[in-house]
Chains A and B, each alone.
Chain A
Amino acid sequence: AQSVTQPDIHITVSEGASLELRCNYSYGATPYLFWYVQSPGQGLQLLLKYFSGDTLVQGIKGFEAEFKRSQSSFNLRKPSVHWSDAAEYFCAVARNNAGNMLTFGGGTRLMVKP
C-alpha cells in the first residue's frame, strides 16, 4: 500500500523568506506526484505535478518542487513567501498507473508572519 507523509503539521515563516515543505512517499513503482493548496473552506487547487522527465518542476504562484527518487521525496519550495500563501498544503500520490485515485498526505498548514 502506498502512503504519503508530510512531517510538518505547521510551519510559520516570515513574509519574504524562503519556504520548503517536505513530502515523503512510499510506493513500489514510479509515482505520479502532486502538490495542492487549500484555502480555508475551499476546494483544492493544483500547484504542480510530476509525471516523468525533469525532476525539478515549476508550478503556479512561483512554487517549484523537486522529485528525488533516492530519498522518496517531493519537497515543495518557494524562494520568497507572500502573505497570500498562507493556506493548507497537501502532497498527493496517484495510487496506481491504471487508476486515478489519489492518496494524500496529512497536510501542512503554512502561516506567514508580516
Chain B
Amino acid sequence: GAVVSQHPSRVICKSGTSVKIECRSLDFQATTMFWYRQFPKKSLMLMATSNEGSKATYEQGVEKDKFLINHASLTLSTLTVTSAHPEDSSFYICSAPLGPTPEQYFGPGTRLTVT
C-alpha cells in the first residue's frame, strides 16, 4: 500500500529555535498533504492543508507565521515550527490522500519536545 514517511521521528530543541519536519509520499504523488497536531491522550487536530505549488490553507486559530508549511514538490511537504516554545511540544502527524478519494495515508508522526 501507499507509504508516507516523516523525518525526524523525534526531535528535541531549545526554546527560540526553529525545527523543520518533513513529510514524504514514498510511492505516489500528493498534490495535497495534511498536517495534524496531537496532544497527549487527545485526538488529532487538523492544522493546515498543504498544497503543492501554492500557499497552505490554515485552520482557524493556527498561526501561519509560526507554523510555516512548504509543499515544494509532489512528494514532499515540510512543516517548520519557528521560534519554538515549550507549549509547541506535541506529536505532529502528516497525511496524504492517494488520488481524489477521501482515504488518507498517515505518516508515523514526529515527537517534538521544546526545552
**Residues of A bordering B, CB below 8 Å:** 32, 34, 36, 41-46, 49, 51, 90, 94, 99-107, 109
B49 touches A101 (CB 8 A): yes
CB-CB under 8 A from A90, the residues of chain B are 43-44
A41 touches B102 (CB 8 A): no
B109 interface neighbour in A43, A49, A100, Cβ under 8 Å: A43
Total A-B Cβ pairs within 8 A:
57
Known: A42-B109, A43-B93. A102 touches B43 (CB 8 A): no
Check: B46 CB closer than 8 A to any chain A CB. yes
CB nearest to B44 among chain A residues = A104
A100 touches B106 (CB 8 A): no
> How distant is the Cα of A46 from the Cα of B49 in the complex, in angstroms?
20
CB-CB under 8 A from B54, the residues of chain A are none
A46 touches B103 (CB 8 A): yes
Chain B: residues with Cβ within 8 Å of the partner, total of 25
Known: A90-B44, A102-B104. A41 touches B49 (CB 8 A): no
How far, in Å, is A26 (CB) from chain B's closest CB? 16
Residue pairs across A and B with Cβ atoms less than 8 A apart, 24 shown, are A34-B102, A34-B103, A41-B91, A42-B108, A42-B109, A43-B4, A43-B6, A43-B107, A44-B44, A44-B93, A51-B101, A51-B102, A90-B44, A100-B34, A100-B100, A100-B101, A100-B103, A102-B34, A102-B46, A103-B46, A106-B42, A106-B43, A107-B42, A109-B41
CB-CB under 8 A from A34, the residues of chain B are 102-103
CB nearest to A105 among chain B residues = B43
A104 touches B43 (CB 8 A): yes
CB-CB under 8 A from A51, the residues of chain B are 101-102
Check: B32 CB closer than 8 A to any chain A CB. yes
> How distant is the Cα of A100 from the Cα of B94 in the complex, in angstroms?
13
> How distant is the Cα of A83 from the Cα of B41 in the complex, in angstroms?
20
> How distant is the Cα of A99 from the Cα of B101 in the complex, in angstroms?
8
